[in-house]
Amino acid sequence: MTGQQVQLRVALAQVDTRVGDIPGNVELVTRWTAKAAEAGASLVVFPEMTLTGYPPEDLVLRESFARASEHALVDLAASLADQGLGGMAVVVGYLAHTEGTGPAAVESMPEDDRPADANPRRGAPRNAAALLYGGDVVVRYYKRHLPNYGVFDEARYFVPGTELPVVRLHGIDVALTVCEDLWVEGGPCGVAGQAGVDLVVSPNASPYERAKDDLRLPLVRRRAAEARATIVYCNQVGGQDELVFDGDSMAVAPDGELLGRAPQFVEHLLTADLTIDPSSVAERRDGRIGAMTVTRHVVSEEPRPAFEARPPSVAEPLEDHEEVWRALVLGLRDFIDKNGMPSVVLGLSGGIDSAVVAALAVDALGADRVYGVGLPSKYSSEHSLADAEDLAKRTGLHYSVVPIAPMVDAYHGSVELTGVAAENLQARVRGTLLMGLSNQSGHLLLTTGNKSEVAVGYSTLYGDSAGGFAPIKDVPKTLVWELARWRNAFARDRGETEPIPANSIEKPPSAELAPGQVDTDSLPSYDELDGVIADYVDRDLGMADLLERGHDPEVVARVLRLIDAAEFKRRQSAPGTKISLKAFGRDRRLPITNRWRESLPSVREGAAQS
């Protein structure tokens, strides 16, 4: 029989943190908690490891860093109360460091009690979330499931938790989980469902990859059904080195109804008005359930006064190309701003890659912080300079021209270079000049290579690969063209100037390091190349699977040899924003010295720049 329904306004603070900036992140929590209070919320949820930023990587191994996080958490609880915010329940992620749970403690546990994924070490760093209320840290939850795939190394750093705390807040039972716990069927959400709760809160730091927003809502719906409770999923937003986080926070009812969804790639406070019937929970249990121990804690039994519920706020997911563009813009902006860099510089060739990088930089930083340099050689076509100048006028960025032919001739006067060595000399002169301008003026040099080129090593070390950040490093060439067309259409639809010259999009791509040179002299068509890269790099398919998917055997053999041989180059490349299933860098780690090759009868291999 249904009893009295209880209302609760929950706020999800989708914020952009900075790794290592504990005081700054504490201020961020304080400011957004005040916003949640102004919005009439009784509970506000922040992302995973908010106080430290995510991912902190090997900072986790420093006990001083963990201690600073712990102290900041306790001080934050007291500070919120001092500022009149003690009546707000705040769930915030942080780095914990617990005593007595290192190797000896784990060894002393009964075998059945030992976490299957435990990685004990001296002391116990924990990926944790806490609920603060009334000036105190009421409960602490330690993340149960530690992802150790793709970009994640959490088993390297953390010890998993075995306890599921449930807090009675204004007459509603609230369970805490963290990120990966939500992705595991039969994990903490399943335990919560067996224990009997009304609400599950899930702080997250879930990195963006293309179309990932399509996976999240079905996932949260499955976990809400499993928990038999509403789930509020609060995800981080912002860039951190190669990763970018898109937010996309949401609240989902047990029956799958979407109660609220935040926009992507912006900081946002999402409020969701929940109506919960505590009497619908047939049984409320504590103690041992499965692999976890459920504990119960009481903050307040008295429900909040009834209020007029607001209509759900549901942001529509972005269209695919806009989503990717915004990810790249945010990743670039946060890399520059969080590292305190005033401006960027890049070489403008008139080609599609430098045009797209320039447009991204202007969108991210504003035209006044972007410096483009034309660096024509004797092989540069007239349209290359014209297209670069046209782009500068369209976007408003700073533009200058430095001809490199005299410098290249001076090199040739001292040493005789021919063939690829002579071609690469031009690229290295350009790289040296751009790095000089970077040093002179404090600009960060952006490198303009795309994923297709990075994959097969179609770049010059210490030349066009030079730079501190690579905005389109994870963008295949075919997608570069699609993004250019989308960005122009986006501007056109708004009555704005299209930033990218049509000629940069339409002309055949060329490095212009030799007379009449085009990329297809050295590479398969980009349609073919990108198809093989997607299957071999992103999906890790072997030769048999690649052929089964219909790729041409000679193209496959050629491309795989180029990809495998270019690993040493990729180790020296700049970081760039991840948007794909698997990006080069922390996402894909292969040995440089490696004799394994996918086998196929020998075919003639094409040459790439070295």
Q: Which residues are catalytic, by number?
A: 48, 143, 179
**Phi–psi pair at 95, nearest 5 degrees:** -100, 120
Residue 436: how many other CB atoms lie within 10 Å:
12
Judge contact between 584 and 570, C-beta under 8 A: yes
Which residue, 176, 231, 235, 234, is CA-closest to 208? Answer: 235
Rounded (10°) angle between helices 352-365 and 382-395: 20
* Surface-to-core class of residue 421, CB atoms within 10 Å of its CB (0-12 exposed, 13-18 middle, 19+ buried): exposed
Question: What CA–CA distance (Å, rounded) separates 399 from 373?
Answer: 6
Please report which helix (H) or strand (E) contains residue 212, including its range.
Answer: none
State how far the alpha carbon of 364 is from the alpha carbons of 239, 337, 360, 607, in Å. 12, 10, 6, 36
Strand partners, 202: 233
Question: What CA–CA distance (Å, rounded) separates 156 from 134?
Answer: 35
Question: What CA–CA distance (Å, rounded) separates 156 from 399?
Answer: 46
Question: What CA–CA distance (Å, rounded) separates 488 from 499?
Answer: 6
Q: Interior CA angle at 360 toward 355 and 364, to 5°?
A: 150
Strand partners, 261: 250, 314
Side chain identity at 483, as an amino acid letter?
L
Question: What CA–CA distance (Å, rounded) separates 401 from 287?
Answer: 72
Question: What CA–CA distance (Å, rounded) separates 409 from 374?
Answer: 18
Judge contact between 327 and 246, C-beta under 8 A: yes
Question: What CA–CA distance (Å, rounded) separates 180 from 189?
Answer: 11
Side chain identity at 534, as an amino acid letter?
A
Tokens of 127: 């990926």
Q: Interior CA angle at 419 toward 553 and 414, to 5°?
A: 155
Judge contact between 334 and 16, C-beta under 8 A: yes
Question: What CA–CA distance (Å, rounded) separates 447 from 366?
Answer: 18
Which residue, 35, 68, 64, is CA-closest to 51? Answer: 68
Q: How many residues does the chain have?
A: 610
Judge contact between 577 and 327, C-beta under 8 A: yes
Q: Interior CA angle at 11 toward 7 and 13, to 5°?
A: 170
Question: What CA–CA distance (Å, rounded) separates 337 from 341?
Answer: 6
